[in-house]
Structure 1
Amino acid sequence: MTVIQKNEPDVQSGHPASLHGEAVPVTRLYKRRWLIVFLFSSYSLCNSFQWIQYGIINNIFMRFYNVDTFTIDWMSMIYMLTYIPLIFPVTWLLDKRGLRVIALVATAMNCAGTWIKVTSARPDLFGVTMLGQLTVSVAQVFILGMPSRIASVWFGSGEVSTACSIGVFGNQLGIAIGFLVPPILVPNVEDMDELAHHIRVMFYITAGVATLLFILVVMVFQERPEIPPTQAQAAARLIPPESYSYTASIMRLLRNRPFILLIITYGLNVGCFYAVSTLLNRMIIEHYPGEEVNAGRIGLTIVIAGMVGSLICGIWLDKSKTYKQTTLAVYLMSFLGMLVYAFTLSLGHLWVVFITAGALGFFMTGYLPLGFEFAVELTYPESEGTSSGLLNCSAQVFGIIFTICQGKIMDALGTLAGNIFLCVFLLIGTIMTGFIKSDLRRQRANQLERTAAAAKRSDVLDYGTTTPFIQQHSDL
């Protein structure tokens, strides 16, 4: 059912109420908003699946392409590397051309990359598969900054956090499928021709899904609703495009101290998640040889638990608006979860690893939409795409650093030392989060707009009822 939030109409004109010529903005929520966010989640899923599809069967691809483990690690880290230089031109394009153009480019590049990889299922074509992975990694740059923008442009003020969580949900589900499906589709068989067949099947399935999603985006994805969903969005539409400066926006964000702290803490947390995900196969195989499928299932457990955490946190934020308190609590639990995971990994019981990894994922992965929404609150009315882009850029930088460093530490000192390395930085991030000032600008703007709109409606109604009385008793 379509929800409409609008002001009392003027009795004579039928238009929104106005006072002294100043119109009170009309807002409306469209059912299509759910289709838009679910379509975005779907193509985000397809892209994030490919991020981890090599790393979770690291040992199989090493043997197939005859490359070392660090080279296969780069099949995941290339996602992080391409993001860093491209995020600024992409967020500029998002601000200038809007959501639909970004969605079309993202799905087109994702589709092209999957078909390049279809042709690479031969041991002598590692360069081709790297080209395909590079292409889909560029598509990811057009995806990661969109959840908070879609939530703000399409959803009401009481559901933006839930909508953002659904947007991030697709990315997390894709990672979960990336952990689960490749070990099943590509078993560790000795015959190279049979192995090539299994790899080709996986690539064909991915390409088929990516092609379908590209067609759906072309046909269905819409730039924005005709009528804005919130008073804040209505006010944002009144700002002339020529008055917006992308460079000035970046500079304002970099002078926002609470946001700078959030950039660092977000990067530390998500960078740790990237490192754990990329190196998960190596960790599990070291302590549980031959358990490639269970390594994928443990990765699935991490992300599924995180998806539940994301949705719970999103709903909680919409109800409570306690952005800093929730972010700090989840960050602290991420640190404790990582600590427990580090010390239980080598106990020799896979069921224990499933439980501790699930607890870690619930909080660490559940933190992702919290960071996005807290950033939008701290930086309003700046572009959601720009603030999200800076957060993700920090995450990619720390992700590359942590993945390389943890991998080297694991090679030299073992998995426990590598995981303790990550625990140290999660503790630092928890402490820094406590120092972030909770300046909820978007909430304040929406409240001010609602108060002003209520006052205008009241004035209009008072004006409409008192004028006839004055006219009738003008002889007094």
Structure 2
Amino acid sequence: MRLMYTECAACVLLLLLVVVYFPAKPPSPPSLTASMERTNYLHGIKGLFKHKRFLVILVAYSVPTGVFGGLGAALDMVLDGVGVSQYQAGWIGFYATVGGCAAALLMSRIADQFLRHMKMMLLFLFVSGTAACLWLVLLRMSYIPVNLWSLYLSNILMGVFIYASIPLFFELGCEASYPIAEGVTVGVLTIANNVTGVIFLSVMQIPKIGVVWMPWATLGSAAVGIPLLLLFKENYTRTDIDTQRIIVPEPDPYRATSINTNTKVG
């Protein structure tokens, strides 16, 4: 309980700092496309759900990350069947989350250096993440010898590969849905992730369902992302404008400027 109060106080402090310090916008636009007119929020949300390429990203992102997040919330119950205490399960989940955060920062930097290769990076992460999920399933079902270090490593690798995909999905989703505003796109992706996690955890309300199904569901959710990514067609219109592969008139900072990039929403 004391930890929760401490976290709450930290969140309130950060909120106050944001309100007091951060301006509504920077002195100049961070990119060329940031200064251009975008679809408004209501039309943007409607457009996203008519956008087939974005819907592929939506499912490929929200299902694996939402399910893995739900697994972390119930990890102590899942690993109880192989003799892991709640205390040990807590540390396993902690290191998986920390490893995932570090990997996400690293992948963000790598993606900056290798533009237009995010699909390939995501495929690598998901193939590797699926392998890590399979390892956990084999351990949990006692198909292979179980030891604490194997459980630690399998869960940490799951966190590393699945969570490292999040910034790439956000970026690829924004590229796919351009010119819809990034805030709308990322907001819808985040909501879908949370809804998936709620549905996953709600299944536990079914009487006598147990927890053995959870590692299997996590494995299936990670594997689902692979064919979806293979079917996804990359398009970097926003990046092409920002890097001047598509030439547009230079706008005044934050002055709404309409452009025609022959890009359709949907």
Contact kept in structure 1, 2:125 and 2:165, CA below 8 Å: yes
Change over 3 Å in CA distance of 1:403–1:208 after alignment to 2: closer
Partners of 2:153 and 2:164 lie apart in 1 by 16
Contact kept in structure 2, 1:409 and 1:418, CA below 8 Å: no
**How much has 1:453 moved relative to structure 2?**
6.9
Aligned pair partner of 1:268 in 49, 59, 63: 63
Partners of 2:17 and 2:216 lie apart in 1 by 44
Aligned pair partner of 1:335 in 116, 119, 130: 130
Query: 2:32: which partner in 1?
Result: 231
2:90 pairs with 1:296:
yes
**How much has 1:338 moved relative to structure 2?**
0.9
Equivalent positions of 1:381-400 (< 5 A) are 381-400=179-198
Q: Which amino acid aligns with 1:394?
A: A
2:204 pairs with 1:441:
no
Partners of 1:211 and 1:424 lie apart in 2 by 38
**How much has 1:349 moved relative to structure 2?**
1.3
Equivalent positions of 1:286-365 (< 5 A) are 286-288=81-83, 291-321=85-115, 322-345=117-140, 346=142, 347-365=145-163
Aligned pair partner of 1:220 in 15, 21, 38: 21
Query: 1:205: which partner in 2?
Result: 6
Query: 2:258: which partner in 1?
Result: none
Q: Which moved more, 1:246-255 or 1:268-277?
A: 246-255
2:224 pairs with 1:428:
yes
Partners of 1:203 and 1:423 lie apart in 2 by 31
Partners of 2:121 and 2:202 lie apart in 1 by 30
Deviations 1:142-186 (A, max 9, x none): xxxxxxxxxxxxxxxxxxxxxxxxxxxxxxxxxxxxxxxxxxxxx
Query: 2:73: which partner in 1?
Result: 278
- Percent identity of the aligned residues? 21
Contact kept in structure 1, 2:40 and 2:181, CA below 8 Å: no
Change over 3 Å in CA distance of 1:371–1:401 after alignment to 2: same
Partners of 1:370 and 1:232 lie apart in 2 by 19
Equivalent positions of 1:30-109 (< 5 A) are none
**How much has 1:373 moved relative to structure 2?**
0.8
Change over 3 Å in CA distance of 1:224–1:340 after alignment to 2: same
Partners of 2:129 and 2:207 lie apart in 1 by 21
Deviations 1:242-281 (A, max 9, x none): x853332223222221111111111111122122111112
Partners of 2:128 and 2:18 lie apart in 1 by 38
Change over 3 Å in CA distance of 1:396–1:331 after alignment to 2: same
Partners of 1:212 and 1:452 lie apart in 2 by 42
**How much has 1:213 moved relative to structure 2?**
2.0
Deviations 1:369-392 (A, max 9, x none): 111111111112211111112212
Query: 1:150: which partner in 2?
Result: none
Partners of 2:23 and 2:233 lie apart in 1 by 36
Contact kept in structure 2, 1:259 and 1:379, CA below 8 Å: yes
Aligned residues: 246
**Coordinate RMSD, CA, aligned:** 2.5
Long gaps (5+) in structure 2: 251-266
Q: TM-score, normalised by structure 2?
A: 0.83
Q: TM-score, normalised by structure 1?
A: 0.48
Change over 3 Å in CA distance of 1:207–1:266 after alignment to 2: closer
Change over 3 Å in CA distance of 1:449–1:227 after alignment to 2: farther
Structure with the higher helix share, 1 or 2: 1
Change over 3 Å in CA distance of 1:204–1:421 after alignment to 2: closer
